[in-house]
Amino acid sequence: MFDADKIADELCEFVRIDSLSGHELNMAQLLSQRLEGLGLPTHFDDAHRPIDGEVGNLWSKIEGTGPGLPTLMLNAHMDTVKPGCGIEPIREGDTIRSGGDTILGGDDKAGIAIIFAVVRELLETKPPHGDIHIVFTIAEEVGLFGAKHMDYDSFRADCALVLDGGREPGTITTAAPSALRLGYDITGKAAHSGVKPEEGVSAIQAAAKGIAKMKLGRIDAETTANIGIISGGQARNIIPPDCRVEGEARSHDPEKLDAQARHMRDCLQQACDEIGATLEVEKISSYRAFALPDDHPLVSVATDAAHELGFEPKAERGGGGSDANIYNEHGIPAIILPTGSADPHTLKESVSVRSLGRCADYLLAVIAELQH
Ligand SMILES: [Zn+2]
């Protein structure tokens, strides 16, 4: 059994260090020193270069204790979302939350704190295990860039455990959707709105008409869509010649994802045609879906480990992308394990101290079960 208070103290220390996406240097340096202090050599990769970040992914390794055992990757991400500067964690009984004007950053520093607890335990008790790569990634929240820009030829892992899940120990996230980033540039025609409105074509009106017709939000059990940003226009008295609309769509089913993207484009195209504007569409794949079946060896291992500790095993489909999408895309089976966190990306975000300890117990049990 882990000392949950100790993990909580380290979590509070971690969340006090600002580490917005692309600005992970201070956090990375602290983690690197701490790993070196445990006798584990560390190094950084170049994953920050393409995104102009401060520092790359932080790597370390616990050498395997015996030959022929599976190699494992333990992963959590170092970056947090906004508002995430000057976080002051507050502990009330079992709950850790922020002062209320920032997120807490338990996503994903609870994952990092749990990994540290388990790494110390492994170093102390030396149970049988294969090589364990410890990887703390950058820029997960803004596009999984740390995972995307790893050198996959530089290491070998039979599977990955991504500590970036919710509260309940025993919950295993075994699937996540594909996501598309969608951008629409609408071009109309400028004109003085009071003198010659007949000569103008309003790009904003075209956007509004198109968006009004779109099915958005939850489309079905597997699919969601959102328009998140709209910008355009020049002045109150100018018919707006341009408008940019940005959104996204996600689905566990690639065909449904395509259909939703087509639907959104068609709505805008029709609106543009009606008033004489033109449309340019940008469609970028953010990440691809994955789904490990319930009888996948990695899922079975995590299920057995939950049973062993008396937790209710629950395989869940996640609604968002994570580094696990990228590992699965690169042929490393990856599941997401819980971290004791709830309400990530909100000012209400919290971590349960008791769950932190139980999630560490759970991670250690999964690692042990993997060796059988
Ligand atoms: Zn996360």
Residues 140-145 have a mean pLDDT of 95
pLDDT of 38-58, one tens digit each? 999 999 999 999 999 999 999
Instruction: Give every CB contact of residue 169 below 8 A, 6+ residues apart in sequence.
Output: 306, 309, 311, 338, 340, 355, 358, 359, 361, 362
Architecture of domain 179-287: 2-Layer Sandwich (3.30)
Residue 164 CA, ligand 1 centroid: distance in Å: 5
The pLDDT of 127-156, averaged and rounded, is 97
- The confidence score (pLDDT) of residue 100 equals 87
185 CA to centre of ligand 1 in angstroms: 31
Which part of the chain has CATH 3.40.630.10? 4-176+289-370
Considering the chain, what is the average pLDDT of its residues? 97
Output the CA 269–ligand 1 centroid distance in Å: 35
Q: What pLDDT is stored for residue 225 in this prediction?
A: 98
Ligand 1 midpoint to CA 365 (Å): 22
Whether the upstream peptide bond of residue 108 has omega within 30° of 0, thus cis, is yes
Q: What is the pTM of this model?
A: 0.89
**Pairing status of strand 95-97 against strand 58-62:** unpaired
DSSP code, position 234: S
| Residue located via tokens 């009984």 | 93
Q: CB within 8 A of 326, min separation 6: which ones? A: 144, 147, 148, 150, 287
Backbone region of residue 165 per phi and psi (left: phi > 0; alpha: psi in -120 to 50; beta: other values): beta
| DSSP sequence for 231-272 | EE-S-TTB---EEEEEEEEEESSHHHHHHHHHHHHHHHHHHH
DSSP assignment of 123-150 equals HHH--S---EEEEEES--TTTSHHHHTS
Of 246, 241, 247, give the one whose Cα is nearest residue 204: 241
Q: What is the DSSP letter of 358?
A: H
Residue 206 has pLDDT above 90, yes or no: yes
Residue-wise pLDDT tens digits, 215-272: 999 999 999 999 999 999 999 999 999 999 999 999 999 999 999 999 999 999 999 9
**All CATH 3.30.70.360 domain ranges in the chain, comma separated:** 179-287
pLDDT in tens, 273-313: 999 999 999 999 999 999 999 999 999 999 999 999 999 99
Strands 159-163 and 72-77 come out as parallel
CA of 233 to the centre of ligand 1 (A): 35
Between the two ends of the chain, the Cα-to-Cα distance in Å is 21
Q: How far is the CA of 182 from the centre of ligand 1 (A)?
A: 22
CA 247 – ligand 1 centroid, Å: 21
Q: Say what percent of the chain tops pLDDT 90.
A: 98
The DSSP letter of residue 44 is E
Please tell me the distance between residue 169's alpha carbon and the centre of ligand 1 in angstroms.
16
CATH class of 4-176+289-370: alpha beta
Q: What is the pLDDT of residue 66?
A: 84
Each residue's pLDDT tens digit, 315-342: 999 988 999 999 999 999 999 999 999 9
Cα separation, 319 vs 339, in Å, equals 17
The pLDDT of residue 372? 85
Q: pLDDT category, 361, cuts 50, 70, 90?
A: very high
Write a three-state SS string for 283-306.
Answer: EEEEECCEECCCCCHHHHHHHHHH
pLDDT at 77 over 90: yes
Phi and psi at residue 78, in whole multiples of 5°?
A: -85, -20
Residue 153 has pLDDT above 90, yes or no: yes
Q: Which two tokens stand for residue 341?
A: 């966190």
Q: Hey, what are 213's tokens?
A: 């017709």
Residues carrying an active site annotation:
79, 140
Tell me if 47 sits within 8 A of 145, measured CB to CB: yes
Residue 319: predicted pLDDT = 85
